[in-house]
Structures are given as C-alpha cells and as structure tokens.
C-alpha cells in the first residue's frame, strides 16, 4: 500500500493530492487537459496516480498563484524548468521565481474593465461574497501588480467619485477598502518576510494626518517583489517619530505618501527641516496625488518627488534605479566625484 492516509508516499491518488495541495479535483483535471504541467499515470481501474514530481509542480503552482501569477503564465515557464527550480531549494524557497522572471511579456486580458464594473456594483450592494469572488478572479487571471493597478485602484477611483457625488455610502466604501487592503497587505507580507536581510532598505509610510494608506502599501509590495527590504509604517506618521525610526534603522530611503495638498503644505516646513538633518544618509521620496507639481523648495532640499504613474511596476523600478544610482555615486572616491560635478 503506497498511498497511506497517515504518511502518503507516491504515487498519490486524487484524494491524497487534493489533501496535500488543497486544489479541487475539477481544477486538477482541467489543468491536465489544458496545460502540460501535470502528467499523472493511470491505475488499473483507470484512476489518476500522481508522482512526486507532480506534487512538486503543484506546490510551485500554489506559490506562484499566491504572488498573483496566472496559470497560463506558470504554464509558460514549463514543467521541466519548474522541476529544475524546485529540485534545488535556496533558503527554503524554490527557485521558480527566478525562472518566472524570464517569462516573456504578459498578456493583460481586456477583462479588467468588466471586473471593475462588477466590483463597483458589489460595493454599492455591500455584497461581500461577490467582492471576494471578483478579486479571486482578478488575481488568478492577471498578475498581482496589474490586478492592483487595473482592478483595485481603478475601482477605488470610481467608488471615490461616486462617494463624492453622494451616490456611494461611507459604509460601502469602507467595506471595499477593507477587503482590498487585506488582499494587498497579504501579498506584501508574503514577499516582505523573505527580504529581511536585504538591501536597499525602505521605510514607507504616510504623511502626518494622511489616512490613505493603500497606495504606499501597494508600492511597498512592488518593491518587496523586487527583493527590496521594506518596512511599512502605515498611515499618519508624525515626522519626529519618522526621524527616530530613521536613526534606529538607517534606511537608504524613506517613501512618504500624501494625497491632499493641504496636508502637504501644513507639514512642508517640518519635512524640509527633517530632510536637512537626515538627508545626507537617507533619501526622502514623496509621492501621491497631494504633491503640487514643480515645488522647487523640495529639490533644493534634496527631497525627491516621483510623479504618479499608472503602473506600480514602473514606479518601483524607477525608485530602485534612483536609489541604486545614488548609492553608487556615494561610494565613488571623493576625487572622482568632484571630476563629475561642475
């Protein structure tokens, strides 16, 4: 007897593989027909028997789906590459992520708009199950960053406009925001825990009195996905506390989000003072809808402003390039640095 319920050994029957992977039998059968990831053989009665390799592939598939990859994208990595990656785990994590990075450009299905309409409708109806269902669909058919940009943020913009026009209640908006934030926070925590000893390190939070925290959380996720070490401080961070946090953790950069220009102007002088004290070691980067364009006081004080972009991935890439460029020029010997300057 090989497929023992207590400590199963291969080949695994359907019931065992379902228990070990939590994938439903219908899903496994559908994947077997559509993709070349699973290769169960047949027992005497014609029932499926899964090998140890099939189990490893399914564990990797679960991991990829958790980071927002679609099954079609995972299939493009290929069974062999996945097995290759999972055969040599590094630090307890499979190498499939690296293999995945090489997969060509994503197809972004046009279904994002439909998902947004369904989410807005479910928000207005306070239909929690539908909200969860649509999000499940978004995250299983789009990559996580695309789902956040095109589905979650787009829905929130519409919900915000409906609220401003008196057409969406605060309860509905709070319900949707809570569910959306939970999804993004879960993705962030999954990625962040693997990067605790890495560089660069970012401290991410919101301006004093700023309660809109989903934007900075989403950006934190994108940075963590690119192997940056990110500490999220959350909403309404008082600037004296931020300064203490910088002294305690010596980050390469502090990222601050502000969605309202009134808040920005209220705390601007205090921010510039803070920058003059910590700016030599730590970059201060501002983003969000509340930063007025072309404020020369900021660049003069060494504060970087990143313009809002529709793509989380692009914003994260340009931040990382900026920080790495800054670190590289800071490492150059003084004489060389002088040659480059005016």
Interacting residues toward ligand B12 by CB under 6 A: 153, 156-157, 159-161, 164, 173, 177, 181, 209-216, 218-219, 255-257, 259-260, 285-289, 306, 308, 312, 315
Q: Closer to ligand B12 at the Cβ: 75 or 209?
A: 209
The contacts found for 82-85 with CB under 8 angstroms, 24 or more apart, are 82/37, 82/56, 82/57, 83/53, 83/56, 83/57, 85/60
- Pairing relation of β-strands 283-287 and 303-305? parallel
Q: Closer to ligand B12 at the Cβ: 50 or 180?
A: 180
CB of 221 to ligand B12, least distance (A): 10
CB of 168 to ligand B12, least distance (A): 9
Cis peptide leading into residue 186 (ω within 30°): no
Q: Closer to ligand B12 at the Cβ: 257 or 282?
A: 257
Q: Closer to ligand B12 at the Cβ: 34 or 324?
A: 324
CB of 23 to ligand B12, least distance (A): 30
CB of 132 to ligand B12, least distance (A): 18
Residue nearest to ligand B12 (CB): 287
Q: Closer to ligand B12 at the Cβ: 73 or 210?
A: 210
CB of 187 to ligand B12, least distance (A): 13
Q: Closer to ligand B12 at the Cβ: 75 or 235?
A: 235
């Amino acid at each position: 007897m090989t497929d023992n319920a207590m400590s199963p050994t291969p080949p695994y029957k359907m019931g065992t593989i379902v228990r070990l992977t939590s994938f439903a039998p219908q899903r496994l059968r559908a994947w077997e027909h559509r993709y070349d990831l699973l290769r169960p053989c047949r027992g005497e009665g014609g029932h499926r028997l899964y090998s140890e390799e099939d189990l490893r592939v399914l564990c990797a598939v679960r991991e990829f789906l958790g980071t927002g990859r679609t099954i079609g994208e995972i299939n493009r990595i290929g069974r062999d590459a996945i097995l290759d990656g999972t055969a040599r785990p590094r630090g307890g994590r499979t190498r499939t992520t690296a293999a995945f990075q090489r997969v060509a450009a994503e197809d972004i299905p046009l279904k994002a708009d439909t998902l947004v309409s369904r989410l807005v409708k479910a928000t207005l109806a306070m239909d929690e199950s539908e909200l969860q269902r649509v999000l499940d669909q978004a995250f299983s058919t789009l990559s996580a960053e695309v789902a956040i940009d095109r589905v979650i943020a787009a829905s929130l913009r519409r919900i915000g406009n409906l609220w401003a026009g008196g057409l969406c209640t605060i309860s509905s908006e709070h319900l949707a925001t809570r569910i959306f934030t939970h999804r993004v926070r879960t993705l962030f925590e999954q990625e962040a825990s693997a990067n605790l000893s890495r560089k660069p390190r970012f401290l991410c939070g919101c301006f004093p009195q700023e309660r809109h925290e989903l934007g900075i959380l989403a950006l934190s996720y994108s940075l963590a996905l690119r192997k940056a070490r990110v500490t999220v401080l959350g909403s309404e961070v008082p600037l004296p506390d931020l300064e203490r946090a910088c002294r305690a953790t010596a980050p390469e950069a502090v990222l601050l989000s502000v969605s309202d220009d009134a808040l920005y102007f209220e705390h601007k002088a205090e921010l510039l003072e803070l920058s003059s004290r910590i700016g030599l070691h730590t970059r201060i980067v501002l983003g969000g809808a509340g930063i007025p364009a072309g404020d020369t006081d900021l660049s003069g004080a060494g504060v970087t402003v990143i313009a809002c972009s529709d793509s989380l991935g692009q914003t994260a890439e340009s931040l990382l390039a900026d920080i790495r460029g800054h670190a590289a020029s800071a490492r150059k010997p003084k004489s060389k640095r002088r040659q480059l300057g005016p």
